[in-house]
Amino acid sequence: MTNPSPPQEHIDAFWKRMKYTEEEIKAEVPDMGFAGLKLSDDDCGVVAHIISTGCFDNLNSLNFGGSKMSDAGATAILNALALGRSKSLKILNLSANKLENGAAKALVAAASALTGITILIMSFNEIGDEGFAALATAASAGAFPELLKLYVGNNKYTDAGVATWFDCLSGGAFKNMTNFHIFGKEEEGKVEHPAAWVEMCEKRLISLDQRDLPQPEEEDDPNIFEYGKGKKKPADWAK
C-alpha cells in the first residue's frame, strides 16, 4: 500500500530537528535510532516518506523502540519498507510501542522486501492472536529467511497465539534462528517455559534467554544501542 505524501511543512520541520542531513545519512550513518522519543502519526508519515525517497537505503538498523508509535504510524513506516529500498537493513526494533494486529499484518506484507533481517524485536506491544497467526503463517511459508533472533514477548496473545508460534517453529521455520523470546518478562534471565517449548528449542539449538537483546550503553540515554563492535552509534532523532 502506498502512503500519501506528507505536507512539505511537516517534512521541512522534521529535517530541522534532525542531527544529520539527508546526504550525511546516506553516506555515513549505518544505524538510525528513534528510541524513547515520541513519534506522532505525522512524524511516522514523514519517516515513511523519507524511506520511500531512498534516504535510508544503506542503513544496517532502524530502532523505533519505545517511540510510542501508534498502530497506524507503524503501519505507514512498514508500508514504506515494503517498497524494497532498504535492502541492507538487518535489525528492526519495533518494541514498546502501541502496535496491534494491523502493524503485524503490515510487517507480513513487507516481508518480501525485508529478507535480510536478522534481528526483529516486537516485544511490549498490543499484538494479539490474529497478528501472531499472520506472522507465523508467513514465516512457515519462508518469510524472513535470515532471521537469527526474534523477540515477541509481552504482547496481547493467548494460548492460541502461542500455539501458532510453536507450530511454526516445530515445523522448521526460521532455519537459522538462534534466539526466540515469547513468554513474559524475564527477571535475571529466569522464566518458566513449558516443557514442550524447551524440548523443541533444545532440539533446534534455540536459546530462550532474552538477555541477548542489544542493551543501552548508558542508562540515561535510551537512544544509544550497541548492535555490534566497531559500528557507529545510531543517529539521534533530534538535535
Domain of 47: which CATH number?
Answer: 3.80.10.10
Average pLDDT estimate for 31-48: 85
Looking at residue 2, what is its pLDDT?
64
133 Cβ contact partners less than 8 Å away, ≥ 6 residues apart: 161, 164
pLDDT exceeds cutoff 60 at 190: no
What are the start-end ranges of the E strands in 86-234? 91-93, 119-121, 149-151, 179-181
Which cell numbers hold the place of 221? 540515554
Looking at residue 185, what is its pLDDT?
63
222 occurs within a structural domain: no
159-189 tens-digit pLDDT = 899 899 999 999 999 999 999 988 876 544 5
More confidently predicted of 232 and 27: 27
pLDDT confidence band for 84 (50 / 70 / 90): very high
Residue whose entry in the numeric block shows the C-alpha cell 538487518 = 90
226 occurs within a structural domain: no
What are the start-end ranges of the E strands in the chain? 31-33, 61-63, 91-93, 119-121, 149-151, 179-181
Looking at residue 232, what is its pLDDT?
42
Looking at residue 217, what is its pLDDT?
44
66 Cβ contact partners less than 8 Å away, ≥ 6 residues apart: 35, 36, 95, 96, 97, 222
Which cell numbers hold the place of 74? 507503524
Tell me the one-letter amino acid at 1: M
pLDDT exceeds cutoff 70 at 83: yes
111-160 tens-digit pLDDT = 999 999 999 999 999 999 999 999 999 999 999 999 999 999 889 988 89
39 CB neighbour count, 10 Å cutoff:
21
3 occurs within a structural domain: no
Residue 167 belongs to domain spanning: 8-212
227 occurs within a structural domain: no
25-39, 81-95, 195-209, range with the lowest pLDDT = 25-39
Q: How far apart are CA 120 and CA 142, in angstroms?
A: 15
Q: How far apart are CA 58 and CA 224, in angstroms?
A: 19
Which cell numbers hold the place of 1? 500500500
Q: How far apart are CA 74 and CA 103, in angstroms?
A: 6
What are the start-end ranges of the E strands in 73-171? 91-93, 119-121, 149-151
Looking at residue 12, what is its pLDDT?
86
Rounded to 10°, the helix 101-110/129-140 angle is 20
Based on the structure, what is the number of domains in the chain?
Answer: 1
Looking at residue 225, what is its pLDDT?
36
87 occurs within a structural domain: yes
Per cent of the chain over pLDDT 90 is: 46
Q: How far apart are CA 56 and CA 110, in angstroms?
A: 16
Looking at residue 10, what is its pLDDT?
85
Strand order in the sheet with 91-93: 31-33, 61-63, 91-93, 119-121, 149-151, 179-181
230 occurs within a structural domain: no
pLDDT confidence band for 237 (50 / 70 / 90): very low
The DSSP annotation for 184-196 comes to S--BTTB----HH
218 occurs within a structural domain: no
235 occurs within a structural domain: no
